[in-house]
Amino acid sequence: MKKKVPMGLIIGIIALVVIVIIIIAYFIGVSYRKTTSMPQEKELPDNINEINLIAEGLLQALNDDDYSFFSEDFSEEMKIAMDKSKFEETKQLLDETSGKYISKETPTRYEYQGYEMYRYICSFEKEQVTVTLYLSPDSKLVEGLWFDSANLKTVFQQ
């Protein structure tokens, strides 16, 4: 004759299996996020002065309303993405929200998805702005450029 297993025991075993699955999924997610989605901070390279000149040049070109100098170190894809009209829109937005560029601090370098990423904390007339450059590791051309600040976030949340 077969023994009946109490229903409470079956529910307890199922609950334990579900909890173990949730814990395993959590640790897989944490491990994946640590290894694939977060930029890895790296030491500044020997050619940091060259990279700082690129950053300084494009920030000064914003102040001077000089698109040709601003885009001088852009890849062809970046020149398409940030054409003269986008440059003018970006300049106007930065002038209104943050003011003119004044200075920048030493950057933090990251490697992310095959690019070198340099994050600068910059002083503008009205606020601090984080400027992030994505550079191709081979050509040192600008592949991406982002501006982030409290005032810019406010504008885009409206």
The CATH number that applies at residue 80 is 3.10.450.590
Q: What is the three-class DSSP state of 134?
A: strand
Q: What is the pTM of this model?
A: 0.74
What is the extent of the structural domain holding 5?
A: 1-38
Confidence of residue 92 (pLDDT cuts 50, 70, 90): very high
Are residues 46 and 11 both part of a single domain?
Answer: no
Confidence of residue 42 (pLDDT cuts 50, 70, 90): confident
Are residues 62 and 90 both part of a single domain?
Answer: yes
Are residues 107 and 50 both part of a single domain?
Answer: yes
Confidence of residue 71 (pLDDT cuts 50, 70, 90): very high
In the block, which residue shows the tokens 């590791």?
A: 137
What's the total number of domains in the chain? 2
Residue 109, C-beta contacts closer than 8 angstroms, at least 6 positions apart: 41, 42, 43, 44, 45, 48, 116, 117, 118
Are residues 17 and 81 both part of a single domain?
Answer: no
Are residues 45 and 73 both part of a single domain?
Answer: yes
pLDDT, position 130: 97
Q: Which of 154, 131, 135, 148 is nearest to 48 (CA)?
A: 135
Can you tell me the distance from the alpha carbon of 10 to that of 5, in angstroms, rounded to the nearest whole number? 7
Are residues 48 and 93 both part of a single domain?
Answer: yes
